[in-house]
Amino acid sequence: MTEQTFGKAYGGTAPENYERYFVPHIAAPLAEDLLETAALRPGERVLDVACGTGIVARLARQRIGDGGSLAGLDPNPGMLAVARSLASPKPAIDWHEASAEAIPLADGAFDVALCQLGLQFMTNKLGALREMRRVLAPGGRLVLNVPGPTPPLFAVLADALATHIDPRAASFAHIVFSLHDERELRELTNAAGFRDVRVDARRTTLALPPSSQFLWQYVSSTPLANVVAAASDESRAALEAEVVDKWRGFEVDGTLTFEVTMTTVVGR
């Protein structure tokens, strides 16, 4: 891979690339599944925690109608800037730059708290869950999802990053899939004060672009972008050669098949 390929083909900011590449192939399909479980009703008040560029909130808006209300929360101002640029006015979505561990919203303000692909990144997971419970009205519900364990596709990427870029870069791929134990998730959610907790792990298959495209789309959409950009042309070329070669086994007719276990947690 050359600097021209990396720098120009995927030259947007990580939040812009996240929305452009990661959302259509991974975040949006998973959000549809999350919202199917949430079974939102017209008029409900919904909070999207760790909202990123807002795909869950945007899809939720279609389900709650004009009578409902929506808020999105994320600590990353770049993600929120993209979210604000994409949101239409009806119903309006209130965006908040804050962490899940310290939600700047009133007690009992929401009927549903949603959190997609976010809990594993939170330093104080129990504190974040307690905050989500605090902002829920009596009878309100939490619905979240997390991926893991690390699927073979991303184990290949992690190993190649460690070999050719920086051993610390591999840690990001592992953190993404670090929270998936059903017992741990149930205990955390119960400890946060939720009741009727249900934990459901289900295998999901997603279709991704060809290997050489998806590799750089993913890297450019995540915190990996800066560390990989700082590497030499030779290191990036070696990363691409190894990953693309090993990912060939996951391709069918040019489509990269991504199988991952998604665990969904529901509590009241």
Please list the pLDDT of the chain residue by residue as tens digits (268 residues). Answer: 333 344 444 557 999 999 999 999 999 999 999 999 999 999 999 999 999 999 999 999 999 998 999 999 999 999 999 999 997 777 789 999 999 999 999 999 999 999 999 999 999 999 999 999 999 999 999 999 999 999 999 999 999 999 999 998 999 988 999 999 999 999 999 999 999 999 999 999 999 999 999 999 999 999 999 999 999 999 999 999 999 999 999 999 889 999 999 999 999 9
Q: Cβ distance 57 to 93 under 8 Å?
A: yes
Identify the CA nearest to 204 among candidates 33, 24, 55, 22: 33
Token pair listed for 115 = 């959190």
Strands 110-116 and 45-49: parallel
Structural domains of the chain, ranges and CATH numbers in brackets: 3-267 (3.40.50.150)
Rounded Cα distance between 56 and 49, Å, is 9
So what's the pLDDT on residue 12?
Answer: 73
- In angstroms, the Cα distances linking 130 to 49, 126, 135, 192, 199 are 13, 6, 9, 5, 17
pLDDT at 8: 42
Angle at 244 between CA 151 and CA 168, to 5 degrees: 60
Query: Using the 8-state DSSP alphabet, how is residue 122 labeled?
Result: -
- Residue 11 pLDDT: 57
What's the half-sphere exposure (Cβ side, CA atoms, 13 Å) at 162? Answer: 12
Q: What contacts 137, CB < 8 A, 6 or more positions away?
A: 45, 108, 109, 110, 111
Query: Checking DSSP bridges between strand 69-74 and strand 255-267, what pairing results, if any?
Result: unpaired
Tell me the pTM.
0.93
Query: Does 209 sit behind a cis peptide bond, omega within 30 degrees of 0 on the bond before it?
Result: no
